[in-house]
């Protein structure tokens, strides 16, 4: 499932993020790339563990926890601490697939990368190029969103970042291990959750259908989830 999450960061939180980005140090982005990805990756990243990285990560994680659309679509069990990158001067990231398992830096903990997420932090008119291109069965989806918006997509997808030919593209990226491993099951649960919300809005208060559908949702989640 490929899904846009509008306004993941509010205007206030986006301003706070930009202030942190402006004073953060930047290093070669290949420090977090696997062997294959490192051959096609050309960008900058904020080093993990610095004060700005920790503050930015907390800001993004707080926004995720408050966003019901993200929770419904992803059903997160664990979120990899968000990373932050910068593309400028022709930098790009060639076609690649994200590593299936990622170790959280400085710990023995690992997560399975079921879902990838990119949170855009630069306004699209401030840079040329830099589209996120995600391959799926109907071709390549080109994604270039307003600052504060995010896109979630299967971590199994072949994807790339087009060269940034002017300006600078700043973003956060991270992965999620879902309680429901199977992408098809997650998509069904998401569709059912959205249908329940519409039924609650459209039907008279006290109507039995939303409650009955909610029971189906939770019984499916109970069957499929690894909590």
Residue positions forming the annotated binding site: 96, 98, 159, 169
Three-state secondary-structure class, residue 88 = strand
Strand order in the sheet with 41-42: 41-42, 92-96, 159-161, 132-136, 139-143
Extract the annotated binding site for 2-oxoglutarate: 169
- Cα distance between residue 154 and residue 182, in whole Å: 11
Strands, DSSP E only, in the chain? 3-5, 27-28, 41-42, 44-45, 76-79, 83-88, 92-96, 101-103, 110-112, 115-120, 127-129, 132-136, 139-143, 150-154, 159-161, 164-178
Tally the residues of the chain. 227
Which residues make beta-bridge pairs with 88? 168
Extract the annotated binding site for Fe cation: 96, 98, 159
Hey, what are 62's tokens? 């707080």
- Cα distance between residue 28 and residue 152, in whole Å: 25
For residue 19, the tally of other CB atoms under 10 A from its CB is 12
């Amino acid at each position: 499932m490929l899904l846009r999450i509008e306004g993941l960061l509010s205007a206030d939180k986006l301003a706070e993020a930009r202030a942190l980005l402006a004073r953060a140090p930047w290093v070669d982005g290949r420090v977090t790339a696997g062997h294959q990805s490192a051959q096609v990756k050309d960008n900058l990243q904020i080093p993990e563990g610095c004060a700005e990285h920790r503050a930015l990560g907390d800001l993004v994680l707080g926004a995720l926890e408050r966003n019901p659309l993200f929770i419904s679509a992803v059903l997160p069990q664990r979120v990899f601490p968000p990373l932050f990158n910068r593309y400028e001067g022709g930098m790009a990231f060639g076609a690649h697939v994200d590593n299936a398992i990622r170790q959280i830096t400085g710990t023995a903990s690992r997560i399975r990368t079921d879902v990838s997420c990119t949170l855009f932090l630069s306004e699209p008119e401030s840079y040329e190029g830099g589209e996120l291109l995600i391959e799926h069965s109907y071709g390549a989806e080109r994604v270039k969103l307003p600052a504060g918006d995010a896109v979630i997509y299967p971590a199994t997808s072949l994807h790339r970042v087009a060269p940034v030919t002017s300006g600078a593209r700043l973003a956060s990226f991270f992965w999620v291990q879902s309680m429901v491993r199977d992408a098809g099951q997650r998509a069904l649960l998401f569709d059912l959750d959205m249908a329940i919300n519409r039924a609650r809005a459209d039907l008279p208060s006290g109507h039995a259908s939303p409650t009955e559908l909610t029971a189906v949702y939770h019984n499916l989640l109970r069957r499929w989830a690894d909590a």
